[in-house]
Structure 1
Amino acid sequence: MNFNRDRFLHYLRNLIAIGSPSGYTHKVMKYIEKELTNLGVPYEVTNKGAIVVSFDGENKDYQRTFSAHVDTLGAMVKLIKSNGALSFIPIGGFLMASVEGENCVIETQSGKTFSGTIQSTKPSVHISGSDATDLKRVPENMEIILDEKVFSKADVESLGINVGDFVCIDTRFTVTESGFIKSRYLDDKASAAALLYCIEHIKTYSLTLPHTVNFFISNYEEVGHGATAGIPENTREFIAVDMGAPGLDQNSSEYAVCICAKDSSGPYDYDLRSKLIDICIKEEIPYKVDIYPFYGSDASAALRAGWDVKTALIGPGVFASHGYERTHMESLEATTRLVLNYCCK
């Protein structure tokens, strides 16, 4: 396949631009529905709001399902303080230090949005001295400062901001000339872009598939139950397309597709992993096998829910996961090529 970088970035850029912390994904799902409609690709929406696209293959009883998730990390307003600042609670697991000083948007129940900045409660060394630097970065020591003239809880409430409103953190999406993509939420919108690209490719070229292939766009992965329900009934192989995690003492790479042998939920299916590695070797797709001790996926969730499926986990290498992340086009291309090649085997 000839990888169309611009088409891939079309999907990735648009997905990243839509705030979608877990529990607040309706906007990004509507965008995906619009893209699928434009492609003329039928889809179904599960009761929980996930999107399922299916392409019939010769074997309809032994189906392969690929998943990617578009729900992300984020936050929720926990308390409106007496001085007009907002306390927040994280959605998903991220380091508080990674969001300090970041711009954000508060999405209110009425549909109005307000901008703000995430700061520690002692953001200035000129005021707090060493207390500012020594302050532990934990949720109770962090707050959102609104870009509004507010001085009290009543002032904030008059804007329509309330406890339970979602907070979307600025992504700072950047593509460099050298092929790096830097952004929040490459986990897992990079993989979702790969699946949308694959869907378009299968539709455009009317690929012949030996097995029925499903694409499951998940909307609750970050909180652990994305693929516990709603995956196609005849799924026999469930392949989560999620990030690999390059870093200290890891084998993963930003320039290859990463194949996970084991994560916190245990080993993935050995035979399925072997098939994926064989494809990488035969098709000269750069790959790395790795182990992630503090990781779980939608494949893990499917197994916990009792699905009798073989599972695998693959994806682009994403550096600084759950922070300000980075990957490279080579890793995105390798992941996309592996998915498409496996669909056709």
Structure 2
Amino acid sequence: MNIDMSYVKDFMLKILSVPSPAGDTDVSINMLDEEFKKFGVTTVKTKKKALIATIEGEDNENQKMISAHIDTLGAIVREIKPNGRLKIVQIGGFAWSSVEGENVTIKTIKGKEFTGTILPDKASIHVHSDVVRETLRTDDNMEVRIDEFVKTKEDVLNIGINVGDFVYFEPRTVVTKEGFIKSRHLDDKACVAAIFGLVKYLKDNNIKPKYTTHFYINNYEELGHGIAIVPEKVKEHLALDIGTVADHQTSEETKVTICAKDSRTPYDFEFRKKLVDICEKNDIDYVVDVHYRYGSDASIAATNGFDVNFACAGPGVDATHHYERTHISSIENNVKLLVKYITE
């Protein structure tokens, strides 16, 4: 199976470079819409501005849906402090320690952008001594230092920053010579790139899927309310989301992870077995794992009452919701699974 991994990698780097925290994903959604159209794939947008692309298959009665999410972690300005620093509130779930020292961009409602850095309010060990080491990072003591000459709340308001403005984390994407990809927001842009690797493979090889397949690009997964529509004839929903690489987990950075259970629900046993069988039949490196503090598009849709069978798979990613890392081979194994899933 000749997957164009150069394209997959380059497209992943492209979408990683475009900020898309949940609630501010229009630019990225439009970029994906244009990419689908380059391949001649029909798209529609939902009222919540998610994107659904459809490739017609030989079997139009037993349709499949593959989802991934373009929205990421981020923050919103909660308060402008009297000293000209910003208090922020999280978009999605992460530890403040995971973004301490990160460079950010503040985007105002009028489209102006300013840079800054996330720091605790007592950051210098020269000044605050062991308080810096011992203080728990919380919503109340983390702040953004703006890279402008601002020392008061009025100074900040005067340059155009206000409560409600979005804060983007710098992704710091690096590809190593060994094929590791380090970046924020691999969750879930690595999976979005895998979908486009599948689409390109189908078009390059003039392959029509066995089943009509919908690709649902979700824009609110990190907040738990993404999937709003499942086309009527869809029988199976496969969510693409990251496998959690850590001690006591089976996920690996070079393999595709098939999820047996997350924090909401077990996934359907027969559907999971089908994915395992595809991997074993086609020599696709995989593991089965259980994810603890985790939910996917599929489990959220299932618990919201959509009557469709559901499963979850994705590349193994280390340090999820922190500064993440995966390997290009994991994404390739994911694409191979997708190809076989919709063509056999």
TM-score by length of 1: 0.98
Contact 2:255/2:315, CA 8 A, preserved across alignment: yes
Counterpart of 2:204, as a letter, is T
Which residues of 2 match residues 33-52 of structure 1 at below 5 A? 33-52=33-52
Tell me what 1:242 maps to.
Answer: 241
Tell me what 1:263 maps to.
Answer: 262
Counterpart of 1:263, as a letter, is D
Counterpart of 2:231, as a letter, is P
Residues 55-95 of structure 1 show CA distances to partners (whole Å, capped at 9, x for unaligned) of 11222121110000010000000000011000000101111
Contact 1:41/1:203, CA 8 A, preserved across alignment: no
Percent of pairs identical after alignment?
A: 44
The 2-side partners of 1:209 and 1:18 are apart by: 30
* Larger displacement relative to structure 2 (40-49 or 69-78): 40-49
Tell me what 1:341 maps to.
Answer: 340
Structure 2 unaligned regions, length at least 5: none
Q: 2:244 is paired with a residue of what secondary structure?
A: coil
The 2-side partners of 1:9 and 1:78 are apart by: 36
The 2-side partners of 1:238 and 1:103 are apart by: 37
Tell me what 1:323 maps to.
Answer: 322
Greater than 6 Å deviation, 4+ residue runs: none
Residues 108-161 of structure 1 show CA distances to partners (whole Å, capped at 9, x for unaligned) of 100010000000001100000011111111121100000000011111011111
Tell me what 1:155 maps to.
Answer: 155
Residues 268-319 of structure 1 show CA distances to partners (whole Å, capped at 9, x for unaligned) of 0111111110110010000000001211010012112211111100000010
Q: 1:87 is paired with a residue of what secondary structure?
A: strand
Contact 2:41/2:55, CA 8 A, preserved across alignment: no
Counterpart of 1:265, as a letter, is R
Contact 1:68/1:188, CA 8 A, preserved across alignment: yes
Contact 2:279/2:286, CA 8 A, preserved across alignment: yes
The 2-side partners of 1:5 and 1:304 are apart by: 35
| CA shift for structure 1 position 330 | 1.1
| CA shift for structure 1 position 5 | 2.2
Tell me what 1:89 maps to.
Answer: 89
Structure 1 unaligned regions, length at least 5: none
Which residues of 2 match residues 203-242 of structure 1 at below 5 A? 203-227=203-227, 229-242=228-241
Which residues of 2 match residues 1-345 of structure 1 at below 5 A? 1-227=1-227, 229-345=228-344
Contact 2:4/2:197, CA 8 A, preserved across alignment: no
Counterpart of 2:238, as a letter, is I
